Structure formats: C-alpha cells, structure tokens
C-alpha cells in the first residue's frame, strides 16, 4: 500500500486499503494523465484505458490533430488556454494579457508522512499511516512550477490533494483560478449528490441525475456557506446506503469555494474542487508561492454509508486536533433561549444551581454580556464586561459557577463590529467598506477587516484579556453575516482580488493564536448556525453548532445531512424548550433528548422554568449520555432509514469498532391509523456474536438482528414525534 512509481511504464500507483488511484506520465512532452480511480487493484498497467490514438476520442500528441489530443486526453490537473475547453483548474493572466498555462512533468518526491500547510487547516498523519507524492511540473513559457501534492491515508481510504504554485520565472503574473483538485473519468449512469440549505435549514440532501452540461455548488459570500456544503459526489444511479460506487470531494476550507461536475461529448466527466474564482485575482511575484487548501477525495464501493464511515474516521484521526476528539464533552446548558439579552449574574447562577442538581456540567453564557449589548443593534466589538449585568466582572460569576462543580463557557463574535459601539467610534475605518458607497449593514453589524494586522491584534487582545480574567474552559466563536462591500484600506489595487482568501487566512491565524495561548480550551465554532460547518473549522475546534433550529423534528434532516460527512461528535446538538422558538412545535422531552444524543448533547432552555415532568427527565438523560457517548463519538455510523425520504420515520445506529456495542435510534415522526409495526434491519454487527437488546429478556445473534431486524410497535405510545433508543451489547 501507499505510493509506488513504476519507471518502465511511467506510472504512479496510489493505494489505500480498498482503492487504487493511477497517474501516467504521457509521451515526450510528459503530460500528466489521470488513468484510474476505483476498486483496489494489483495491476498498474491500465494505460490502455486512455484509448490514445483512437479517433474521435483523442490523437497522439505529435500527430496532425494536436487540438483533438489536448481537448480529450484525461488530465490530472487541467489548465487554461491550450485546447482543453472543459472546466480548468488553473488559469493565469500575464502582463501581455494572455491566459494560457501548461503542465508538464519535471520530477517527483515520494516520502512517508505528510508536511503541514503553513497558515491553512490541513490533514495530518504519521509515517505509519500516510505516504505523500509531490508531482513537480513546470510550464516553461511562464516559468511556473506547479506541484501536485497527494497524501494517501491508507487506514481511512482517503487521498488528500492540494497544489503549490511557484513563480520561478522573471515576470509578475496573476492567478485567476487556482483549484485544489480535478479528476477526469467516464460516465457510468451517475447521479450528483450535494447538500444545500438556508438559515435554520442546513445540510439538506440533494440528489439528481448527471446530465450533459455543468452542475455544481459554489459559495461567494466569504464563508463556506449555509447555502451549499463544500462537498460534491458522483455516484451510480442505483447506489444507496449500502451498495454502489461513490466518488466524493470535500474541502478543508472555510471561505469561498467551487465544486463542479461537468459532462461533455462522449460522456466525458470532469470533477473539480477549490477556491471559488469569483473575485479571485492573486498577484504572484517572481519567487513567490501560492498554496491551495486541501481537497479530500474518497471512493466507496459500499455506497453512501461506506463514504460516510471513511470520512468520519479520517476527520477524527487526521483533521481534528483537539484533545477532546476522543473524549466526552461536558454536558452544557446555554442561556440563549432561556434569557436572550435579559440576564444578570444572579439569573445565570440560578440556572447553574438547578442544572448542577441534574448533573449538567457546564454553564455557557451567550450573547449580551459585554459593552452596551442589551439587544442585537449595538455593542459588537466592545469585548469588555458589562458590569451592570455582571458586577465585578467575570471572575465573581465564574467562581460562583465553579463552586457548584460546573465549568464555565462564553460566547464571542470576534469578527464583527456594530456601528453603535465604542470600537466603531474610535476606528470606523476598521470595518470592511467601499469608500464611495454606502455599506450594507446586516443584523446591525459590519465585518472587521482582519486582513489588517493592527485590527486582528486589537480584537484578539480584548478576547485574550477576557479569557485570562477567569477560569473559562469553553468558547463559542460565532460569525453572523456574509462578506460584501469588499475592499481593504491597506491592500494596493493590484492585490484587492486577494481579499477573500486573505480574510480567511486571518481568521485561521486568530484561532491558531487562541489555541496556542489556551491549549486546553474547548472551542465550538458557529456561524448563524451551520454556515461555517466545514472541515477547515474542525481543524481548530472539535465541534460546530449545527443549526439555530433546535427543533427535534427539523434536526432529523439537518443531522442526517451533516452526519453523512462529519463525525456525530462534531455536530452541536441541544435539547431546547417547547413550543420550539423557531417552529412553534411541541415535541416530547424524551424525543428531544434522544435526537440531541446523536451529537454533542446539551441544553438550551431555562431549567428553572420548564415543567417539572421535563426537568425530572434531565438526570436520566445525562446519565444515559455518559453510558453511551463512547458509541456515538467513536463508533461506525449507519443510516437505517430516512424521514427525509419516507416522510414517516427515521432510524440510525452507531456500532463500536469491536462490534461489541451498538446504539439504535428510532423516531416515529408521523403516526397513522392501521399501519403495521415497523421492522428495522440493523447494520454493522458481527453476524456470529450473540447480543442482548435493552428492554428484552431474550438474546439475538448479529445475523438475526441484521437480516431479521427489530420491530418497533405502537406500545411506545400513541401520537406523533415519539422516539426510542436501544443499547445493544454483546452477551
């Protein structure tokens, strides 16, 4: 396994446990060709698949029809202006106005392990579990040196790609498109799979047939975006959770992105992933380099579920750095929906006192503790304690909470500034704005220009001082609007097209500083819910708030979509009050707890005011969390049914790696008259093991549970929105 170069055939073979990826260096001009990605192979001699010399697919490079060749040969990293009229991964603009760029093999390096990417979130591994190929290419007319980077994570069936572009020539030029990965292949009756959404409706699954033309998703608002997840997959039309081929690409980045699949003549398919070219224009002076973020490639022959489990293992073991990644997170209670802006120290302590009695382990103080922040129209940027609400500052409050045996956490929105704030009065030019236009306010706030070091340093200093003032063990980092009115007072005109990427790099620098200064901090990222739920953010914090819609029934589809890509332990999920503040729906407290258990688990309510019958369930829910969280956090995740498809019920399960324990969740959303009981066939168990099922006296074999199933019947209660969770153990 790993990476092998076969000199006689000029072939690079990249192997994971269950997949093979083949690259070929073609002809005298040393074109870099994509040959194969799919089922694990022993052979590397698949060059015949390119059908070179067979009209009308392609012609030999030196034959009469060079254009035909350039248009059709399968490229590993397509470039602009030289006869390939499909989606390109790299384009430039030279001083003479031309945009053509080529790619010819020069040399390569293969080594165990993987290098870090400076300033960018990235996958990591050891010499035991990752091998890296640096495929160094050149474009002689421009002097560009283009290195295609491949890291093979054998243990998780993942290949990570990125591109390093160096100006080794003598003239300045602009990168106008610099994507991270591309792949050419033939259509095989494929569908396209993406995730779309909106505020409070994140990560909805979209699947449609691949047809001729261009299909894809993109974010241009400065965030990875709630509108689309930075992910795209093609999968065989008959693929489901358990069978069929799936090819996925996911992006370790939190800003503007592009993910496209296009099909052209002869059903040739190209898949690309990278930074969106929208307003992207990067000046590359002689000697300078540009590093693209990393794209995650995954191939599964076990359907969507196989892709899911590969991605979960990969993110847990090779992207999330936090010490909490394989640990239980403290069960927290957040005061936002309990109090909104109307609170003081005594109110927060009263919540903490009642929460501590129920076994809740952390109090998180949300928005409204700083400056003159009594509503959402003012105060952002003034990161100092409002002592009218919190007399004596944070330390007296935190000490009172700690004395109850609870940890303390706090909310920040460091990237924002309100026009009504001391910071804006002192530094109005720190907000992103265009000098000759009225800026667009959103939620009564502007975005700070963090690309300016003095701005980022000043804001970070305020955050640092607050965190140093008391024993704060958790931070929720929020970001509640898009970027527009793009311009920076300190960037020269020729570099203004670099702003979006520079902004994202500045955010990463701030979060890196935060974790360096506070290495034990539990960081949860958030952006109006899940508008920055992406692999890049997981590099800094092990969990992300999934959605501001915490309604348990709405969360079924949100958590289904996110769970398709991300470990369940990364999905911020809370039990909130009813009627729900977003939907007005009333859902049983037991169901709310069960649904939130498939995530980080916590509470978002005023525990001092909820019905006694609900409050009485909390100790049992907390106890349950401690009993089963290891299964959810580190187990293999299987989808059993989708409410988003059947409109009746939802079911999923997690299984420990040793297959000794499983946790099965069933939610009956809509109850109907005269319907037969639901039989759910389990997955991922050992057919030969004997298991006990919680609440039953008899035992089952894994074979019986997987092929016979479990019956969920109406004895769980009449009505809608009922849920059941079953703990299954090896006998």
pLDDT for position 719: 85
58 pLDDT higher than 70:
no
CA–CA separation, 619 vs 617, rounded Å? 6
DSSP three-state, residue 311? helix
CA–CA separation, 370 vs 726, rounded Å? 44
Q: What is the CATH number of domain 641-730?
A: 2.60.40.1180
Per-residue pLDDT of 414-470, as tens digits, reads 999 999 999 999 999 999 999 999 999 999 999 999 999 999 999 999 999 999 999
CA–CA separation, 527 vs 537, rounded Å? 11
**β-strand 294-300 against 158-167: which pairing, if any?**
antiparallel
User: What average pLDDT does this structure show over 550-577?
Assistant: 98
User: What average pLDDT does this structure show over 28-51?
Assistant: 90
Exposed (0-12), middle (13-18) or buried (19+): which is 436, by Cβ within 10 Å? Answer: exposed
CA atoms within 13 A on the CB side of 504: 27
Domain with CATH 2.70.98.60 in the chain: 79-318
pLDDT for position 48: 81
675 pLDDT higher than 90:
no
DSSP three-state, residue 541? coil
Point out the catalytic residue in the list 548, 551, 606, 636.
Answer: 548
Kindly report whether the peptide bond that precedes residue 570 is cis, defined as omega within 30 degrees of 0.
no
CA–CA separation, 701 vs 246, rounded Å? 31
Q: Are 275 and 257 in contact (CB under 8 A)?
A: yes
56 pLDDT higher than 50:
no
User: What average pLDDT does this structure show over 366-387?
Assistant: 97
User: What average pLDDT does this structure show over 298-317?
Assistant: 98
Domain with CATH 3.20.20.70 in the chain: 332-417+452-480+519-633
* DSSP assignment letter at 564: T
CA–CA separation, 413 vs 543, rounded Å? 17
Place of tokens 């103080």: 365
Q: Which of 440-444, 559-563, 669-673 has the highest mean pLDDT?
A: 559-563
710 pLDDT higher than 70:
yes
pLDDT for position 683: 98
Considering only 458-467, 569-578, 640-649, which range has the smallest mean pLDDT? 640-649
**β-strand 2-6 against 690-693: which pairing, if any?**
unpaired
54 pLDDT higher than 50:
no
Per-residue pLDDT of 604-631, as tens digits, reads 999 999 999 999 999 999 999 999 999 9
* Yes or no: domain 332-417+452-480+519-633 corresponds to CATH 3.40.640.10: no
556: part of which helix (H) or strand (E)?
Answer: helix 552-563
Per-residue pLDDT of 581-591, as tens digits, reads 999 999 999 99
CA distances from 404 to 275, 344, 355 (A): 47, 17, 10
Q: What percent of the chain has pLDDT over 70?
A: 97
DSSP three-state, residue 117? coil
Q: pTM for the complete prediction? A: 0.97
Which residues have C-beta within 8 Å of that of residue 382, sequence separation ≥ 6? Answer: 370, 371, 372, 373, 421, 422, 423
Q: How is domain 79-318 classified at the architecture level of CATH?
A: Distorted Sandwich (2.70)
User: Is residue 24 left, alpha or beta, with left meaning phi > 0 and alpha meaning psi from -120 to 50?
Assistant: beta
Place of tokens 């901090």: 521
Place of tokens 């140093």: 468
pLDDT for position 59: 46
Per-residue pLDDT of 233-246, as tens digits, reads 999 999 999 999 99
CA–CA separation, 540 vs 523, rounded Å? 7
Structure tokens at 589: 């407290």
Exposed (0-12), middle (13-18) or buried (19+): which is 331, by Cβ within 10 Å? Answer: buried
Point out the catalytic residue in the list 139, 157, 478, 606.
Answer: 478
57 pLDDT higher than 90:
no
Per-residue pLDDT of 312-332, as tens digits, reads 999 999 999 999 999 999 999
Nearest one of 179, 212, 216 to 195, comparing CA atoms: 216
Active site residue 198: no
665 pLDDT higher than 90:
yes
Q: Residue 559 — pLDDT band, cuts 50, 70, 90? A: very high
Exposed (0-12), middle (13-18) or buried (19+): which is 275, by Cβ within 10 Å? Answer: buried
Helices 589-596 & 552-563 angle (0-180, nearest 10): 10
pLDDT for position 61: 52
CA–CA separation, 683 vs 707, rounded Å? 9
Q: Residue 718 — pLDDT band, cuts 50, 70, 90? A: low
302 pLDDT higher than 90:
yes
Active site residue 478: yes
15 pLDDT higher than 60:
yes
- What's the Rg (C-alpha) of the chain? 27
pLDDT for position 62: 58
Domain with CATH 2.60.40.1180 in the chain: 641-730
pLDDT for position 60: 54
As a three-state string, the secondary structure of 346-364 is HHHHHHHHHHHHCCCCEEE
CA–CA separation, 730 vs 689, rounded Å? 7
Q: Are 413 and 478 in contact (CB under 8 A)?
A: yes
Q: Residue 68 — pLDDT band, cuts 50, 70, 90? A: confident
704 pLDDT higher than 60:
yes
Helices 345-357 & 394-403 angle (0-180, nearest 10): 20
Per-residue pLDDT of 232-291, as tens digits, reads 999 999 999 999 999 999 999 999 999 999 999 889 999 999 999 999 999 999 999 999
Per-residue pLDDT of 93-146, as tens digits, reads 999 999 999 999 999 999 999 999 999 999 999 999 999 999 999 999 999 999
User: b/e for 280-306, b at 16 or more Cβ within 10 A?
Assistant: bbbbbeeeeebbbbbbbbbbbbbbbbb
């Amino acid at each position: 396994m790993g990476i092998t170069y076969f000199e006689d055939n000029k072939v690079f073979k990249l192997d994971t446990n269950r997949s093979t990826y083949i690259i070929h260096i073609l002809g005298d001009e040393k074109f870099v060709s994509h040959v194969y990605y799919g089922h694990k192979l022993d052979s590397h001699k698949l060059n015949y698949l390119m059908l070179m010399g067979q009209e009308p697919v392609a012609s030999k490079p030196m034959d009469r029809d060079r254009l035909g060749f350039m248009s059709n040969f399968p490229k590993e990293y397509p470039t602009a202006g030289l006869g390939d009229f499909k989606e390109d991964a790299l384009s430039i603009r030279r001083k003479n106005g031309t945009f053509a760029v080529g790619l010819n093999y020069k040399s390569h390096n293969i080594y165990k392990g993987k290098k870090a990417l400076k300033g960018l979130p990235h996958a990591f591994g050891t010499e035991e579990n990752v091998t890296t190929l640096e495929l160094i290419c050149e474009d002689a007319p421009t002097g560009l040196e283009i290195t295609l980077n491949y890291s093979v994570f054998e243990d998780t069936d993942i290949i990570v790609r990125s591109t390093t572009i160096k100006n080794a020539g003598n003239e300045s030029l602009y990168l106008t498109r610099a994507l991270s990965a591309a792949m050419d292949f033939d259509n095989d009756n494929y569908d396209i799979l993406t995730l779309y959404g909106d505020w409070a409706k994140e990560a909805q699954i979209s699947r449609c047939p691949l047809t001729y033309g261009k299909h894809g998703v993109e974010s241009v608002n400065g965030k990875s975006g709630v509108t689309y997840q930075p992910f795209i997959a093609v999968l065989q039309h008959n693929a489901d959770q358990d069978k069929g081929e799936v090819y996925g690409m996911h992006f370790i980045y939190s800003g503007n992105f592009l993910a496209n699949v296009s099909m052209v003549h002869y059903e040739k398919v190209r898949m690309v992933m990278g930074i969106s070219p929208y307003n992207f224009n990067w000046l590359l002076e002689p000697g300078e380099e540009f590093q693209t973020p990393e794209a995650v490639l995954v191939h599964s022959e076990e359907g969507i579920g196989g892709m899911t489990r590969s991605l979960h293992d990969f993110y847990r073991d090779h992207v999330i750095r936090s010490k909490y990644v394989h640990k239980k997170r403290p069960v927290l209670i957040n005061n936002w929906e309990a109090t909104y802006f109307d609170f003081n120290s005594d109110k927060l302590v009263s919540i903490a006192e009642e929460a501590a009695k129920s076994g809740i382990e952390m109090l998180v103080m949300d928005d409204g503790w700083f400056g003159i922040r009594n509503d959402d129209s003012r105060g952002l940027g003034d990161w100092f304690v409002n002592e009218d609400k919190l007399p004596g500052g944070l330390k007296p409050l935190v000490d009172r909470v700690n004395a109850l045996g609870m940890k303390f956490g706090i909310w920040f929105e460091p990237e924002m500034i309100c026009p009504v704030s001391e910071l804006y009065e002192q530094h109005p030019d720190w907000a992103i704005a265009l000098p000759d236009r009225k800026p667009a306010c959103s939620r009564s706030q502007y975005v700070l220009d963090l690309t300016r070091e003095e701005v980022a340093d000043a804001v970070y200093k305020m955050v640092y001082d607050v965190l140093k003032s008391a024993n704060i063990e958790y931070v929720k980092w929020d970001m509640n609007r898009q970027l527009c009115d793009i311009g920076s007072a300190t960037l020269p005109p020729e570099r203004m097209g670099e702003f979006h990427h520079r902004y994202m790099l500045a955010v990463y620098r701030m979060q890196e500083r935060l974790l360096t200064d506070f290495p034990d901090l539990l960081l949860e990222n958030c952006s109006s819910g899940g508008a920055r739920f992406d692999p890049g953010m997981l590099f800094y914090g092990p969990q992300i708030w999934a959605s501001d819609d915490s309604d348990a029934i709405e969360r079924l589809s949100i958590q289904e979509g996110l769970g398709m890509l991300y470990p369940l332990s990364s999905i911020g999920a809370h039990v909130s009050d009813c009627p729900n503040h977003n939907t007005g729906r009333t859902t049983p407290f037991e169901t709310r707890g069960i649904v939130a258990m498939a995530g980080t688990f916590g509470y978002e309510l005023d525990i001092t005011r909820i019905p006694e019958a609900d409050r009485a369930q909390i100790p049992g829910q907390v106890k349950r969390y401690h009993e089963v969280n290891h299964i959810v956090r580190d187990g293999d995740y299987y989808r059993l049914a989708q409410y988003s498809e059947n409109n009746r019920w939802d079911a999923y399960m997690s299984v420990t790696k040793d297959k000794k324990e499983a946790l099965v969740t069933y939610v009956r959303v809509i109850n109907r008259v005269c319907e037969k009981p639901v039989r759910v066939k389990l997955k991922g168990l050992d057919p030969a093991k004997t298991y006990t099922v919680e609440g039953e006296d008899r035992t089952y074999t894994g074979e019986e549970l997987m092929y016979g199933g479990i019956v969920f019947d109406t004895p769980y209660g009449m009505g809608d929105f009922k849920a059941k969770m079953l703990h299954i153990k090896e006998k």
